[in-house]
Structure 1
Amino acid sequence: MATETPQTDPSLLEAVPALSTSVQDLGKLIADPDSDLPAKELPKLDELIDDYYNRDTGVGNEEFALRILQVFQQSTHKDVYEKVVNQLPSDQRRAVKDFVGKGLSAEEADRLLVQEIPIVAPLEVQTNEIRLFSSKKSEPLVPERKYIKGATENLLFENWGRTVKHTPQITYYPENIKEVQTIVRDAVKNNQGVRVSGFRHSWAPVFGRNDITDKKHNGSVLISTLTERNASVLPNFTSLPSSLFQPKETELNHISVVDAAYVGAQRPLTGGKKYVRVGTATTNEQFRRWCIDEGNVTLPMNIIEVEITFGGSNATICHGAGMQHSTLSDLVRCIEYVNARGDVCTVNMADPELMKAASGCFGLLGVVTHITFECDAMLTAVMRPVKLDAIEAIPPPPGMKDSDIPAPLWKQRTPEQKKTHQDNFERRANNDFYAEWFWFPYSTKVWVNTWSTDASTKNVVNYPSNKDVFLQVAETAFMNMAQEILHSVHALQARPQMQTAVLSWLAMRNLDERKENQKPIRTLLPNALHFQRGVQNIRVRDLEVELPLHAKKGTTTERDYSNVQRAWWDAIRACYEHAETSPMRMPLEMRMMGSSSVTMAPQRGNKLGTCAIEILTLKVVSDIWEPFAQKVLDKWVGYSDNDGRPVVVKPHWAKEWYNYKVDGAPWVRKLKNDVYRDQIAEFRTLLAAIGEKHGWTLADIKKTFSNELLDYLYLDDV
């Protein structure tokens, strides 16, 4: 039988107030002249809270953003506000300051951003504004620049999540294939390793080699496909509607349509599908705009963030959501790379078995310069996001008693209501084109973002609108301010649960919702996939696992979601059980997706589908995060199917997993020797076959393109 959720002291779960109660309690603290929280530390926040919960007309997004920014601007901790605002380029700074202090509307602020060119070096500037439904084609590529060796020496590398750092001997920013070839040939000649990074949005040590302790650098070369400004400086403005903040077009971020022969296919695509060749430096935002402006195609799924490059998201086998979808790497039809000899090589559909390894290879083939995806004809997403009671959105699993449900989330339900909630959850998970759920700590609601599609692209809106994108980016700024200011307020230092509840309140109210009497949002699919902009401006820690689905007892095809529900509620319970320190301060997220044919994909072999579930927190509480995440992981890896067989849980390769343990041993050891043993052997065989065809060996790639982690997993005996 499946593992039953263990009992917990009910007092632990009853002692934590509901999110709305915590937020309103904060308002009372501020308003009470005798409390230990002086009103000047968070001036007029009590009035905003009172209006939000008690005013009949509510508080709209624009008014809320304005008033919360004014709270921080007028606070005794206004130095935090000034620090964040002064980090903005000149036009953003003026737009935000005029929005806060001079009555500029969000729409006017957005127009100001589009009109002015920021004076920020070395930010590259592109002159063409985003064009919706335009027939105008991209401008020709810029002329090839002269290759300059030694772009930056001894520059510290840090990943986005700040979990990996090292110092390459040289960091290069190539713009074309010839430059990449020269870099690789020089590195091989000088006995140097080469690794590549994009936006650096991975928490695992998949980047360069570690520092050599007695030297300033690790002796290796880093190829950064984004400039240092675009890759590592926050805030990042890639998501703003203006094109002023997009990387300039180069050969390595160029997008074009290619024919079937280019990818080794037997016949052309039909039904509006196209093979789209994408440079690995291309960001999701550049691709989103191209799909809408020119391509009239879309990826059927993608990650949410628009700043990420395709080279990075594909190398680590990233995914989107929806049971009928697999991973990004499953959509790859051609990989172009520079090998250890400096030659340009191609793997495509003419060798389908080799594609299974090449399409998700962690950069081991060499420097991947272009990826060709099979894209669908443009579709319309019909979105109706809702905020449901937690107990309704994802019902507690079988065997979970009412006393195990945190008191703020419990409510009486009849057997008929329980069945309806279960049926609705399974219907969304099984059938909706896109399916994901968000729960922010201590909220009584879950944000449910599952939707269907329409082949008609008429009567669509630009979503989120330019005004809403400005507000979303502004709200990431005040989320950063909020976490630092709340952490600095002496009266709140002993109230971490209240701090977390306020952050969850700020985040939840920013998520869109459609009531039953409202029309759904009709927007083009690429917009829906990237529904939230600017989230990359808040650094987080992130543990994600891929949980395989199994069949209901007595069936072979009906999906049993009991372990999914168990994993969801085990994470929620852990959050409440640790409320005294609140190590989890960002959401619990869950997506449903299918299986995969990519050799090293965590979803491979999950015939009935996969649940991708993750917990996040803010970087400011990293010191208490890993012990908490380990406890949640201990729960997740302990489930069984209906026949009592242990469920094999795998990590998302790009998220946190390297520092954790399973059954008391390093997880990486278990992955290598047990979970992925057969897949690793197959992966090595396929890599060797590609090398034999293209003139290199496993020893060549270990020397030039690997690092310590990849050596251990795949090349330890080479």
Structure 2
Amino acid sequence: MIGGFSMSAGDAGWRDRIARDAAALGLSGALQRHIHTLLADHRDTHPRERLRDLLIWGGFDESDKDPHGEVPEPAAVTPESDQLDDVREADGKPMRVWWHRPFRNWGGTVENTPLVTVYPRSKTGLCELVKWAAGHGLTVRASGYRHSWTDGYAEPGNVLVSMIAPDVATARPAVHPGIDPADALQGIEIVGRDGRQALCRIGTATTNEQFRQWALTSGQGNREWTVPLNTIIVEVTFGGTNATTCHGAGWKNRTLNDLVTEVEFVNARGELQVVSDRATLIAAAGCFGLLGIVTALTLRLDPMSYAVMQPEKRPLMLGVPPLPGAVLPPDIDQRKVTDAEVNEAIKRFEWQCENAYYSEWFWFAEQSECWVNCWQNDGHPADSVDYPSPIDVILQETSEYIAEIADQHAFRHLPGRVQAKILGGLAMASRPSGTTVVTPLIDALHFLRGVHNMPVRDMELEIPIPCRPDDPSRPDWSVCRRAWWDALRIIHDSPDVPLRLTLEMRVTGGSDVLLAPQYGNNFGTCSIEVLTTTVVPAEQWNRFLQRVADAWTSYQDQDGRTLNVRPHWGKQWQGLSLHGRPVVEYLRDEACRAQLVGLRAGLAAIAGQGGYSLADLRARFTNPLLRELFRDVLADE
């Protein structure tokens, strides 16, 4: 995305730089003045709240307002619109609700109007809600920060459970309230040990930012424990990342769902139920909310460790070297590198894939270099610093928000290639190179803040790494290089410039979780994605996605078998065709067929333990997309 993390706390020029960026992006004078006011006092102990007040309520030009953000709910609302008398929380009070409130997801790909949006605060309230919905023949689906591009949300005219307050979920700039001890769906507690790992019970409404702060705070996590992997973004809930089988980076790291040892949820009978045996966890840990509304997860945590971050900018030909004979975009200057340099770069790339704790590559639109973010996790605590620093966090969050405002107003009138050059250039300029920073692992995993402040469109596919033709015991990393350069070729061949932000690639491991798209990838996974701004017309973007998907799903292993490429469930895949078939049909009947058989058996076993049926799950916790995708899983027994 846009915000960088190269500024140090002692760099006095950071305020001037972001003010210059605001002017260069064509923002109104009023908004520039408010940004200057914010940056004049970086000692503010509540920078996010101050930023929100200044940019949203500061009186700048109406045209500068974020068109995707929702105005927070007023402090006082009429009783008939803010409570559901038939559903009581644990304290006996009616549940807070909004009737017929329009819903929009973060990326702008899903819009509908549920009958009721509910903000629960207790497990008792959720149980009562499910019983109420069953009595009225309604389905129930949950959301957090709404960061899934796929329609896994509530069916129109039914019940949406907002696991965090709707005004927090939709606020931009993002706000980060602390854990509310009165909210039984939040919270973090160490509940046991398993060898060197801790077992940590986490409420599913708990956010990544709340966990990050807990892990680093004295009297709480005390820098003793960390998740070994996570998504970059902090504005997501643990329930949301669990439902869509999210992942981090690094060949030795699997998915977040592979860390789960217990799932607690409200089932179709409106009762709390727990799954903890491994045989059924592989179905329950990451099943799109088909079992019900998940209330808590228990994860394995590692002892706190310290990343040694050494990011670098490298020429495109040397960051991710192309395959021999590859057709390269004509504007890629190959004369600047020698064959010896390319051969050395190939060795370096493969070493990073196999040995880096975290491995990630970025190309920002219209740039001649890529940014390589590969690092080890063997730093010494005495050398560590908080990263990014408080000033850098303000810089990142503000930069992302300014870029979003500019994109929606000033940029949208510019040619697509100009938009891409500006956004790509700002992003690349802000990325550090040739520096070394030691920081707690949890900070390194979340090295970029403020991502929530700039909505994007995003498709990610998970490509299985095949074995090498000359050594079936080793992974063939050439598929990563091929996917990277196929995407670059398609990007450069697109005259309408649909990709205006980023091509990003990470290497991950496989997974034991049935619905994870990494499932069965014994030699690891190439997780590769393309991102653009929301001003790009949907039709234009979707045509581009189809071309990229056609390339990425065409690869074969050494025996000529097509690799079982599957999408990241939470990213954009609806509307695509894979191998000439509608995507839902292909995933259901081909790519995930074996896993869905196992999923049906697992869900049936769990339902039997709880005294309900698969038909009850279909009636209570699905929507049209899920009923089509899981048609055979939830068919009558």
TM-score, normalized by length of structure 2?
A: 0.88
What is the distance in 1 between the residues matched to 2:260 and 2:209?
Answer: 19
Amino acid at match of 2:479: N
1:112 positional shift: 6.0
- Runs of at least 5 residues in structure 1 that lack an aligned partner in the other structure: 1-57, 86-92, 125-142, 212-217, 239-244, 260-267
**Does 1:670 pair with 2:594?**
no
- 1:255 equivalent among 178, 188, 195: 188
C-alpha distance after superposition, 1:579-611 (max 9, x if no partner): x32111110000000000001111011101000
Shift in alpha-carbon separation, 1:299–1:66, aligned structure 2, 3 A: same
C-alpha distance after superposition, 1:223-263 (max 9, x if no partner): 1101111112322133xxxxxx446342111111112xxxx
**SS at 2:124's partner residue?**
helix
Q: Are 1:283 and 1:310, in contact at CA under 8 Å, matched by a contact in 2?
A: yes
Shift in alpha-carbon separation, 1:98–1:658, aligned structure 2, 3 A: same
**Does 1:398 pair with 2:324?**
yes
1:113 positional shift: 5.8
1:181 positional shift: 0.8
1:187 positional shift: 0.9
1:564 positional shift: 1.2
What is the distance in 2 between the residues matched to 1:337 and 1:703?
Answer: 17
What is the distance in 2 between the residues matched to 1:284 and 1:98?
Answer: 29
Q: Which residue of 2 aligns with 1:98?
A: 37
**SS at 2:360's partner residue?**
strand
Shift in alpha-carbon separation, 1:671–1:99, aligned structure 2, 3 A: same
1:447 positional shift: 0.9
What is the distance in 2 between the residues matched to 1:589 and 1:113?
Answer: 28
Q: Are 2:306 and 2:378, in contact at CA under 8 Å, matched by a contact in 1?
A: yes
What is the distance in 1 between the residues matched to 2:391 and 2:259?
Answer: 33
**SS at 1:345's partner residue?**
strand
Amino acid at match of 1:98: T
1:170 positional shift: 1.2
C-alpha distance after superposition, 1:460-516 (max 9, x if no partner): 101000000001111112212332354355xxx3x3212210111111122222x2x
Amino acid at match of 1:248: D
What is the distance in 1 between the residues matched to 2:307 and 2:51?
Answer: 33
**SS at 2:544's partner residue?**
helix
What is the distance in 2 between the residues matched to 1:686 and 1:488?
Answer: 48
Matches within 5 A, 1:409-448: 409-448=333-372
Q: Which residue of 2 aligns with 1:362?
A: 288
Shift in alpha-carbon separation, 1:116–1:388, aligned structure 2, 3 A: closer
**SS at 2:537's partner residue?**
helix
What is the distance in 2 between the residues matched to 1:553 and 1:62?
Answer: 53
Q: Which residue of 1 aligns with 2:5?
A: none
Aligned residues: 589
What is the distance in 1 between the residues matched to 2:28 and 2:393?
Answer: 25
**SS at 1:450's partner residue?**
coil
What is the distance in 1 between the residues matched to 2:38 and 2:123?
Answer: 44
Shift in alpha-carbon separation, 1:60–1:388, aligned structure 2, 3 A: farther
- Runs of at least 5 residues in structure 2 that lack an aligned partner in the other structure: 1-10, 58-70, 76-88
Q: Greater CA deviation, 535-544 or 61-70?
A: 61-70
What is the distance in 1 between the residues matched to 2:353 and 2:525?
Answer: 10
What is the distance in 1 between the residues matched to 2:424 and 2:175?
Answer: 23
**Does 1:235 pair with 2:173?**
yes
Structure with greater Cα Rg: 1
Matches within 5 A, 1:148-187: 148-149=94-95, 151-187=97-133
Q: Which residue of 2 aligns with 1:713?
A: 629
Shift in alpha-carbon separation, 1:111–1:562, aligned structure 2, 3 A: same
Shift in alpha-carbon separation, 1:60–1:612, aligned structure 2, 3 A: farther
1:441 positional shift: 1.2
Q: Which residue of 2 aligns with 1:504?
A: 424
Q: Are 2:49 and 2:175, in contact at CA under 8 Å, matched by a contact in 1?
A: no
1:159 positional shift: 1.1
Shift in alpha-carbon separation, 1:112–1:163, aligned structure 2, 3 A: closer
- 1:66 equivalent among 7, 12, 19: 19
- 2:468 equivalent among 521, 545, 552: 552
1:389 positional shift: 0.8
What is the distance in 2 between the residues matched to 1:232 and 1:444?
Answer: 35
Matches within 5 A, 1:557-576: 557-576=473-492
1:679 positional shift: 0.8
Amino acid at match of 1:367: I
Q: Which residue of 1 aligns with 2:399?
A: 475
**SS at 1:229's partner residue?**
helix
Q: Which residue of 1 aligns with 2:62?
A: none
1:647 positional shift: 1.4
**SS at 1:319's partner residue?**
coil
What is the distance in 1 between the residues matched to 2:319 and 2:184?
Answer: 46
1:662 positional shift: 1.6
- 2:503 equivalent among 588, 595, 606: 588
Q: Which residue of 1 aligns with 2:314?
A: 388
- 2:300 equivalent among 374, 378, 384: 374
**Does 1:309 pair with 2:255?**
no
Q: Which residue of 2 aligns with 1:20?
A: none
Q: Which residue of 1 aligns with 2:534?
A: 619
What is the distance in 2 between the residues matched to 1:636 and 1:332?
Answer: 30
1:622 positional shift: 3.1
What is the distance in 2 between the residues matched to 1:480 and 1:384?
Answer: 28
What is the distance in 2 between the residues matched to 1:162 and 1:445?
Answer: 30
TM-score, normalized by length of structure 1?
A: 0.78
**SS at 1:659's partner residue?**
coil
Shift in alpha-carbon separation, 1:464–1:112, aligned structure 2, 3 A: closer
Q: Which residue of 1 aligns with 2:28?
A: 78
- 1:690 equivalent among 582, 606, 621: 606
1:576 positional shift: 1.0
1:643 positional shift: 2.5
Q: Are 2:173 and 2:397, in contact at CA under 8 Å, matched by a contact in 1?
A: no
What is the distance in 1 between the residues matched to 2:100 and 2:345?
Answer: 57
C-alpha distance after superposition, 1:43-77 (max 9, x if no partner): xxxxxxxxxxxxxxx995443212122345xx5x6
**Does 1:340 pair with 2:268?**
yes
What is the distance in 2 between the residues matched to 1:571 and 1:290?
Answer: 39
C-alpha distance after superposition, 1:124-170 (max 9, x if no partner): 9xxxxxxxxxxxxxxxxxx9644314611111111111111221111
Superposition RMSD in Å = 2.4
Q: Greater CA deviation, 413-422 or 646-655?
A: 413-422
What is the distance in 1 between the residues matched to 2:286 and 2:191?
Answer: 21
Shift in alpha-carbon separation, 1:97–1:431, aligned structure 2, 3 A: same
Shift in alpha-carbon separation, 1:270–1:663, aligned structure 2, 3 A: closer
1:713 positional shift: 2.1
